[in-house]
Structure 1
Amino acid sequence: MSTSPAVKRLFLWSGPRNISTALMYSFSQRADAAVEDEPLYAHYLSRSLASPYHPGAATILEKMENDGQKVVQHMLSKSGKPLLFFKNMTHHLIDLDWSFMGQGMNILLTREPKAMLLSFSKIIEKPVMEDIGYAMQWRLLQYLKTNEFPFVVLEAKKFLQDPEGQLRKLCKTCGIDFDPNMMHWKAGPIPEDGVWANYWYASVHKSTGFQPYTEKSEPFPDHLRGLLSECEPIYRKLQVFSL
């Protein structure tokens, strides 16, 4: 597969309930960029056991391309703007050849798992590791390193404590100029939102920029403590590589 010429591709590989949607909104403010929201979602639902408990799954499977290989070809052939930002979930990468990642910059976005699981469980009450992507994200980082494919790691807490500084570092690492327009957007949805936005994007739709970091004070569900103990050592390994 070959990419269209003179186009820079940014592949975001995030866990759920992170700042991935805010990053997509941020990049959508650039005049030189086009963004796309989770193009591999239907592929993931069609090849996993997740569709019965993902809100809106039937609509996603109906309206989106289910063949992940065709989605990859689309991401590599899409043009129109000099910068393309593809927001993806890491756990959507099942049953795919990952070699296409060498044709763009890969951005791994992670979040402290206690806060992530607390947020995620409000929509999907009993997640498993395959739902949240930490193990897959570490596997992906090792794959990118081994194959010498370009990548960078962002950590959500660190990012929200200094959004402009982190965006400037990210842009520099990706070989693009920082655009001040990336710091703010209008409240409400954007046309690029996936069909699942009504279930997941309420807080982003109320925002006009990156929200200040705040510690979660809610009690943590006991039934998720086993999964939390699996996620935390992986998260700490990912943290080591963060900007």
Structure 2
Amino acid sequence: MKANSAIKRLFLWSGPRNISTALMYSFSQRADTAVEDEPLYAHYLSRSLASPYHPGASTILENMERDGSKVVHHMLSKREKPVLFFKNMTHHLIDLDWSFMGKGMNILLTRDPKAMLLSFSKIIEKPVMEDIGYAMQWKLIQYLKDKDFPFVVLEAKKFLLDPEGQLRKLCSACGIVFDTRMMRWEAGPIPEDGVWAKYWYASVHRSTGFQPYVEKNEPFPAHLLPLLAECEPIYRKLQEYSL
């Protein structure tokens, strides 16, 4: 099944502290779309060293499927609506066969690493590259290109400067019609939120749409400068593919 089959499966591969949750809320407003929040989270926690410092890890592991192959099967067999939007974190893609990506549209979502690390470090103080997905995103692009699997890249700042224009381009790339309802939602959580929402989604729960882009002026943590230097050249390469 190719990306233009009757059911459109949209796989979002985002870095953390991005606009991925807002994008999920946007797609959830469509009558033809069902959304799912980070179905591979427990798989990731069960196969990485991240569990001790991820908020709510024990609850995630208790309540979600840990076997990534079963999660992939679920994503490929789900058929409840014509469009299925799976919000995923790129760094969750460990110990998996990636060939399933050929059965949907892959949306890579990236953000300026300086702003992302500043935000992320307020919850996880000392992240490493494996926590934030930049290297994995670049590896993913090479894989998708090699396999000739469909993909697009969104860049958070560019998106927030023109949400409707970017959504229209994204919908076109995914083979679906843009819906104006994607621009607004009611404040508060949605039923599809993951059990980790209380730790990460406060700003989205206060929102009713995509927030205007605001430049961050906070001091950058010195201990994260080496990681920032590692991320920046990857981010610049990712930017070259953005819509």
TM-score, reference length from structure 2: 0.98
Task: Call closer, same or farther: CA 1:92–1:204 in 2, change over 3 Å.
Answer: same
Task: Call closer, same or farther: CA 1:214–1:65 in 2, change over 3 Å.
Answer: same
Aligned partner of 2:37 in structure 1 is 37
CA deviation after TM superposition for structure 1 residue 226, in Å: 0.3
2:133 maps to 1:133: yes
Aligned partner of 1:182 in structure 2 is 182
CA deviation after TM superposition for structure 1 residue 80, in Å: 1.0
SS at match of 2:107: strand
Contact in 1 for aligned 2:157/2:213 (Cα 8 Å): yes
In structure 1, C-alpha distance between the alignment counterparts of 2:172 and 2:140, rounded to whole Å: 22
Aligned partner of 1:220 in structure 2 is 220
Unaligned runs of 5+ in 1: none
2:234 maps to 1:241: no
State the identity %: 84
SS at match of 1:81: coil
In structure 1, C-alpha distance between the alignment counterparts of 2:159 and 2:15, rounded to whole Å: 15
CA deviation after TM superposition for structure 1 residue 115, in Å: 0.1
Aligned partner of 1:144 in structure 2 is 144
SS at match of 2:168: helix
2:80 maps to 1:80: yes
Cα RMSD after superposing both structures: 1.2
In structure 2, C-alpha distance between the alignment counterparts of 1:35 and 1:124, rounded to whole Å: 26
What is the one-letter code of the residue matched to 1:127? P
Aligned partner of 2:57 in structure 1 is 57
In structure 2, C-alpha distance between the alignment counterparts of 1:2 and 1:42, rounded to whole Å: 27
Aligned partner of 2:208 in structure 1 is 208
In structure 2, C-alpha distance between the alignment counterparts of 1:69 and 1:119, rounded to whole Å: 31
What is the one-letter code of the residue matched to 2:140? L
In structure 1, C-alpha distance between the alignment counterparts of 2:60 and 2:171, rounded to whole Å: 31
Aligned partner of 1:156 in structure 2 is 156
SS at match of 1:135: helix
The number of equivalent residue pairs is: 242
SS at match of 1:157: helix
Aligned partner of 2:91 in structure 1 is 91
Contact in 1 for aligned 2:2/2:102 (Cα 8 Å): no
* Correspondences of 1:92-111 after superposition (within 5 Å): 92-111=92-111
TM-score, reference length from structure 1: 0.98
In structure 1, C-alpha distance between the alignment counterparts of 2:22 and 2:92, rounded to whole Å: 19
SS at match of 2:122: coil
Contact in 1 for aligned 2:27/2:35 (Cα 8 Å): yes
Unaligned runs of 5+ in 2: none
CA deviation after TM superposition for structure 1 residue 6, in Å: 2.6
* Correspondences of 1:105-120 after superposition (within 5 Å): 105-120=105-120
